[in-house]
Amino acid sequence: MENAASKYQESGESSRNELFEQHLPLVKIIAHHLSVGLPPGHSVDDLIQVGMIGLLEATRSYEVQQGVQFKSYASIRIRGAMLDELRKDSWMPRSVQQKSKKISQAIQSAENKLQRTAADRDIAEELDVSIEEYYRMLDAVAGCTVFSIEDNPTQADNQTNEASPELDIECESTRAKLAEVMEGLPRQEKLVVFLYYNKGLNMQEISKVLEVSESRVCQVHAQAVNRIRGRLVREVAKTDL
């Protein structure tokens, strides 16, 4: 696929068309990947249509000099276009948004206090709930956290006026921080994140690999994403000192 990208420096409509045609399968892969937990009224076909626009924009704005493979660049633009479309409808209930934010803050707080990776029970204790209630909270946000890594994890609640630093997933320094944070995840969380985001496996496939229930995989994924969000907030706060 990168053959067309290597010719891109000469530019021209034919090069752009070739990139677009070669990477159409990528749109479908990302659309099916993001289709987990889609709200009523949205379909994979909707995501594919929006993703194709993202791919088209990627072919127009890509520069070989950026030193990034076109596939990686296009993936960000395609996924971003799909997420923007979903955000327009504000499909995630505010109660779920608040619950997800509360989990992220609890993980961050627990790890700051303990100076180590917070286990499930540590987080539940920080939230002042039973471990069973904590797992129910993870179940509630599991269908939504598939999008959270791409979101700005330092974004303030819409109901407040507090300022928060921007965190652009396309920024090289942010990607470096993200890679570092993900590397420091607990083994099971790191494996779930790797299989989901790098290998493109869905939750059911991951459950077979790990030999646990699909619901448990969803819980681990939700906790991993919220842990990443909390740790990224901490890393960004350090750079602002």
> Which domain CATH number covers 99?
1.20.140
Is the same domain home to 31 and 64? yes
- d(CA 104, CA 139) in angstroms, rounded, equals 15
Domain boundary among 33, 67, 88: 88
Q: What is the mean pLDDT of residues 54-63?
A: 86
Is the same domain home to 67 and 168? no
pTM as predicted = 0.62
φ, ψ for residue 25, nearest 5 deg: -60, -30
Domain boundary among 36, 64, 88: 88
pLDDT grade for 9, boundaries at 50, 70 and 90: very low
Q: What is the mean pLDDT of residues 129-143?
A: 90
Q: Which tops the pLDDT comparison, 154 or 214?
A: 214
Max CA pair span of the chain: 61
Helix (H, G, I), strand (E, B) or coil at 142: helix
Is the same domain home to 98 and 156? yes
For the chain, how are helix, strand and coil distributed in percent, rounded to 5?
A: 70, 0, 30
pLDDT grade for 179, boundaries at 50, 70 and 90: confident
Q: What is the mean pLDDT of residues 159-171?
A: 37
pLDDT 10s digits, 73-120:
888 889 888 877 776 655 566 777 788 889 999 999 999 999 999 999
Interior angle at CA 101, CA 178 and CA 109, nearest 5: 75
Is the same domain home to 107 and 206? yes
Two tokens, residue 69 = 């493979």
Domain boundary among 25, 53, 88: 88
Two tokens, residue 147 = 């999008």
Q: What is the mean pLDDT of residues 147-155?
A: 45
Contact 81, 51 (CB under 8 A): yes
pLDDT at 237: 57
pLDDT at 133: 96
Q: Rounded to the nearest 10 degrees, how much is the dihedral formed by the CA atoms of 184, 185, 191, 194?
A: -70
Is the same domain home to 76 and 115? no
Instruction: Kindly tell me if the per-residue pLDDT of 62 is higher than 90.
Output: no
Q: What is the mean pLDDT of residues 140-169?
A: 46
Q: What is the mean pLDDT of residues 34-49?
A: 75
Is the same domain home to 158 and 193? yes
Instruction: Kindly tell me if the per-residue pLDDT of 163 is higher than 90.
Output: no
Is the same domain home to 198 and 230? yes
- d(CA 51, CA 67) in angstroms, rounded, equals 23
Is the same domain home to 129 and 231? yes
Is the same domain home to 133 and 171? yes
Q: What is the DSSP letter of 40?
A: T
Q: What is the mean pLDDT of residues 224-233?
A: 83
Q: Quick count: other Cβ atoms within 10 Å of Cβ 168?
A: 10
Q: Which domain holds residue 30?
A: 2-88
Q: Which tops the pLDDT comparison, 115 or 157?
A: 115
- d(CA 139, CA 148) in angstroms, rounded, equals 15
Is the same domain home to 31 and 108? no
Q: Which residues contact 66 (CB under 8 A, 6 or more apart)?
A: 73
pLDDT at 38: 66
Length of the chain equals 241
pLDDT at 181: 80
Instruction: Kindly tell me if the per-residue pLDDT of 157 is higher than 50.
Output: no
Is the same domain home to 76 and 128? no
Total of domains in the chain: 2
Domain with residue 33: its CATH number is 1.10.1740.10
Is the same domain home to 9 and 65? yes
pLDDT at 241: 44
Instruction: Kindly tell me if the per-residue pLDDT of 3 is higher than 70.
Output: no
pLDDT grade for 235, boundaries at 50, 70 and 90: low
Q: Which residues contact 15 (CB under 8 A, 6 or more apart)?
A: 4, 7, 8
pLDDT at 229: 81
